[in-house]
Structure 1
Amino acid sequence: MKTLIAPFLAAALLLGTAAHAQQVQPLDRIVAVVDEDVILQSELDLALNNVLAQYAGREDQLPPREILQRQVLERLVLVHLQTARAGEMGVRVGDEEIDNAISNIAAQNRLTPDQLRQQLASDGMSYDDFRRSLRDELLSQRLRQRFAQTRISVSEAEVDAALASQTGEQYHLAHILVALPDGATPEQIATGQQKIDGIKGLLDKGEMTFAAAAVRYSDSPNALEGGDLGWRSLDEIPAAFANTIRTLQKGQLVGPIRGPSGFQLLQLVDTRSTDQAAAQSVTQYRARHILVRSEGDDDAAKARIDTLRARIAGGADFAEVAKENSDDTFSKDKGGELGWFTQDQFGPEFGAQVAGLQDGGVSAPFKTQAGWHIVQREETRQTDVTDDNRRAQMRERIGQRKLEDEWNRFLREMRGEAYVDIRTGNQAAAGGNGG
């Protein structure tokens, strides 16, 4: 199993064991108190063992166990805070969503869900723990999405400027962060500067690889991944680094530079050229639909949509039936008219029905999350979306860059405001740190 889904399990275990605190044996030792909940030794051991399994054969890249334990425990603290905040905001993940996620994970690894369950058991992980891990990871993802929707915006001017400066080059980057608190004192700044200079000295002397130094010393959430930032275009790189990155050779460093989060070192791992997007066209459909919402009585809704479909089959005008009967307030007054759209725009079930019709055809009743539908496909066209796609991709890149900075700041704020009492290692001896 470690070779099959270890990357996923790393995320799941490190991002998803807060709920496990309620499910373990009563004698399990508390290693941290996080607001009104706890993290138990069994959770920490589970996450630690997973990291050790990922680094099998490369143990020399890991920091001493006490430092590794502190890093993993800090991730668990952040996970608990994220899932708690998600709950406060009404973010929920249902059992059906977890079932679907498990089915997808199994399929990606060429397993059935039952085979995945058996493989988890053979690796010593209970299926219930795995589900709880998935639930918490999905909650964290939903919280991040909600955060992006409310805090991140990208203007058309920003997209224009980024497209104008696009070079077709991508850069594989890694970084090391020495974090500073908001409003850092001169002493804290000096300590941070001394630490980042020390790390830079080790790298310059060749005493440690960049990835090993990131694992051991970085305060970034991706420290245990060697600080890997993946492939990025210039528009996805902070402005403080972007111009310099273009002049570097593989393996060279930038920094240290002080940014919003603290002092950073950046390494150029590799570069590659990307072809400019070729001309692209998509099929668009124009259609009308009638919606009948279930509202707790699915049988009645089905009977009603069947009646409306029978009327249309008998010669009634689709638009008139929609005006009189559709529960879609946005299209009802227009005779159910939806305008031009792509197949996936209104969800896979709706798109599949439209794509399966001929122009002028009317579907049988079908169900989506919104309720019961009948759709009439009016016409089809091919549309050049090359420029739209380029702009959408650029908008996504800029948004992701902004989100990374703002999300990390949000996590630091949330961590600083929380009550966290660490009861293991040196931090316990120092009395933990309450927020």
Structure 2
Amino acid sequence: MNKLFAAFLALFLVATAPVARAQIQPVEPLDRIVAIAEDDVILQSELDRAVTQIQAQIQHNNPQQLPPMDVLRSQMLDRLIMNRLQIQRASSTGIRVTDNEVDQAIGRIAQSNNIDITQLRSALARDGVDYDDFRKQTKEQILVQRLQQRIMQGAGNVSDAEVDTLLASGNVKTGEIHLAHILIATPENASAEQIQTAKQKADDVKKQIDGGLDFAAAAIRYSNAQDALEGGDLQWRPLSALPEAFVQIAETLTPGQVSQVVRGPNGFHIIKVVDKRGGGSKQLVTEYHARHIMIPVTELVSSAEAQKTAADLRRRIVDGKEDFAKLAKEYSKDPPTANLGGDMGWFPIDRFGTAVATALGSLKANNEVSQPFQTDVGWHILQLLGKRDADRTVETQREQARELIRQRKAEDEIESTLRQFRSDSYICAVDPAYVTKERQACSGAAIKKAESK
């Protein structure tokens, strides 16, 4: 499951945990506006439901992490505002989600929780979550996911020269690490005073942690990161997928230790190493040498006809002892391999997808020919020519370096864009309890306009 859907489930499927389920109570809807996010509003009922559900999740995982209710409400309001801004931007830039796509997403959510749709609806009903509202929230999460994917595309491609430079620096690490973090953010184009205020707040948070405050509880209470309500948990990640500054700090810490306050481009960080694993060994991969014949499915050739052709060719090879390579040159419609007698070269088992991997896995001896199998382009037969264990350490390091650069670019692009969204948008609080430096009090005109919609 991807990260966005995991976060979504944390908010809307805490009911699947028996302990948490008993703690969720239906909240009567209140039609009072508590905040305005550009062209949309946050209602008291929305905030109450979200707070109740995340409160149950936190209490189920670790009751000691639960912050004061006013802090929890403020953090959740920030999350709802940023979510609303992203939904508006997605819709205004032409991103659309169909009802069928929502149905498929809900099906995946139910499947990941080992229940069917009927059981999912029952679980939601028991916890006072309206199914139509659940569908709406699912659709919104897909919109946000697609918006962020579009933003990531703006980060650009990774060139071989960038990979070479990073490898030469020696900063590509192997292994994985489980981190948690707290971000005390600074505004876009922050003034010296704003930077100093953020630094003082970060220092105070670190002092409280040193004094015994649970790290996750501190993250829930103080962090400005999108994962604050999950205790700042970054989960297990390859070292190569983390910012270099985080890696350098983490290398000096043992599991359980917390870093000093660290300045970053978007504010001040406090990092905790939860655990470490792996790293330093050779990357040995089993590679396969095979060849194949592909019969495409087209407007003129049906799937049944393509399957029959593939089956006939297999019989000619297995029973008639005809030459595979010769038949591949004559019948295969795969341009890269046909003239090579279907030769696919050496490759890891997952290189060409699940169908090819399954066919390869069924072959036990060299020169054995698979049964016909289907992919999205047509029907195939495949012949195993050999297997070997290959040292792919260099290739793996290059792949890790490329992924590291790609992810850094993508995360920087998303972080910068979301900060710009917030900076460019009109955000205000109707309820005086939620007025902060980042959320000004709404003007009378803004409230009147919102209430008229």
TM-score range, shorter chain: 0.7 to 0.9
SS of residue matched to 1:182: coil
Deviations 1:281-332 (A, max 9, x none): 324242223253456x9xx622441453366368598778777776656556
1:286 to 2:290 alignment: yes
Match for residue 362 of structure 2 among 341, 356, 360: 356
In the alignment, which residue of structure 1 is the partner of 2:216?
211
Alpha-carbon contact 1:292-1:304 (below 8 Å) kept = no
1:196 to 2:202 alignment: yes
C-alpha deviation, 1:172, in angstroms: 4.5
After TM superposition, the structure 1 = structure 2 runs for residues 119-158 of structure 1, keeping only pairs within 5 Å, are 119-148=123-152, 150-151=154-155, 153=158, 155-158=163-166
After TM superposition, the structure 1 = structure 2 runs for residues 361-372 of structure 1, keeping only pairs within 5 Å, are 361=369, 363-364=371-372, 366-368=373-375, 370-372=376-378
C-alpha deviation, 1:261, in angstroms: 0.3
CA distance in 1 between partners of 2:428 and 2:338 (Å): 57
After TM superposition, the structure 1 = structure 2 runs for residues 238-387 of structure 1, keeping only pairs within 5 Å, are 238-240=243-245, 242-248=247-253, 253-266=258-271, 268-272=272-276, 274=278, 276-277=280-281, 280-293=284-297, 301-306=302-307, 308-309=309-310, 312=313, 315=316, 337-357=343-363, 359=367, 361=369, 363-364=371-372, 366-368=373-375, 370-387=376-393
In the alignment, which residue of structure 1 is the partner of 2:10?
10
In the alignment, which residue of structure 2 is the partner of 1:21?
none
C-alpha deviation, 1:7, in angstroms: 7.0
CA distance in 1 between partners of 2:95 and 2:336 (Å): 26
After TM superposition, the structure 1 = structure 2 runs for residues 214-225 of structure 1, keeping only pairs within 5 Å, are 214-225=219-230
Alpha-carbon contact 1:285-1:343 (below 8 Å) kept = no
Deviations 1:233-286 (A, max 9, x none): 7655544455454444666543433210012233x3445453633563324242
Alpha-carbon contact 1:13-1:133 (below 8 Å) kept = no
Alpha-carbon contact 2:288-2:386 (below 8 Å) kept = yes
Structure 1: unaligned runs, 5 residues or longer: 15-24
After TM superposition, the structure 1 = structure 2 runs for residues 159-178 of structure 1, keeping only pairs within 5 Å, are 159=167, 161-162=169-170, 172-178=178-184
CA distance in 2 between partners of 1:332 and 1:90 (Å): 40
TM-score calculated relative to the size of structure 1: 0.74
User: In 2 relative to 1, CA 317–273 (structure 1 residues): closer, same or farther, beyond 3 Å?
Assistant: closer
Amino acid at match of 1:265: I
Alpha-carbon contact 2:202-2:261 (below 8 Å) kept = yes
C-alpha deviation, 1:29, in angstroms: 4.5
Alpha-carbon contact 2:283-2:396 (below 8 Å) kept = no
Amino acid at match of 2:113: A
CA distance in 2 between partners of 1:179 and 1:339 (Å): 50
C-alpha deviation, 1:53, in angstroms: 0.2
User: In 2 relative to 1, CA 361–412 (structure 1 residues): closer, same or farther, beyond 3 Å?
Assistant: same
CA distance in 1 between partners of 2:307 and 2:236 (Å): 52
Amino acid at match of 1:77: I
CA distance in 1 between partners of 2:391 and 2:137 (Å): 39
User: In 2 relative to 1, CA 333–218 (structure 1 residues): closer, same or farther, beyond 3 Å?
Assistant: same
Structure 2: unaligned runs, 5 residues or longer: 15-27, 317-321, 448-453
Alpha-carbon contact 1:173-1:269 (below 8 Å) kept = yes
1:430 to 2:441 alignment: yes
After TM superposition, the structure 1 = structure 2 runs for residues 19-30 of structure 1, keeping only pairs within 5 Å, are 28-30=31-33
Amino acid at match of 2:230: E
In the alignment, which residue of structure 2 is the partner of 1:64?
68
Percent identity over paired residues: 36
Deviations 1:52-103 (A, max 9, x none): 1012275564443333223212222333344455553657572564255235
Alpha-carbon contact 1:318-1:335 (below 8 Å) kept = yes
TM-score calculated relative to the size of structure 2: 0.71
In the alignment, which residue of structure 2 is the partner of 1:44?
47
In the alignment, which residue of structure 2 is the partner of 1:414?
421
SS of residue matched to 2:261: strand
Q: Over aligned residue pairs, what C-alpha RMSD do you find?
A: 4.3
C-alpha deviation, 1:224, in angstroms: 1.5
Deviations 1:355-401 (A, max 9, x none): 3357352533x443x24322332523223144134553465456445
**Number of residue pairs matched?**
408
User: In 2 relative to 1, CA 71–281 (structure 1 residues): closer, same or farther, beyond 3 Å?
Assistant: same
User: In 2 relative to 1, CA 318–75 (structure 1 residues): closer, same or farther, beyond 3 Å?
Assistant: farther
C-alpha deviation, 1:202, in angstroms: 3.4
C-alpha deviation, 1:348, in angstroms: 1.6
User: In 2 relative to 1, CA 235–290 (structure 1 residues): closer, same or farther, beyond 3 Å?
Assistant: closer
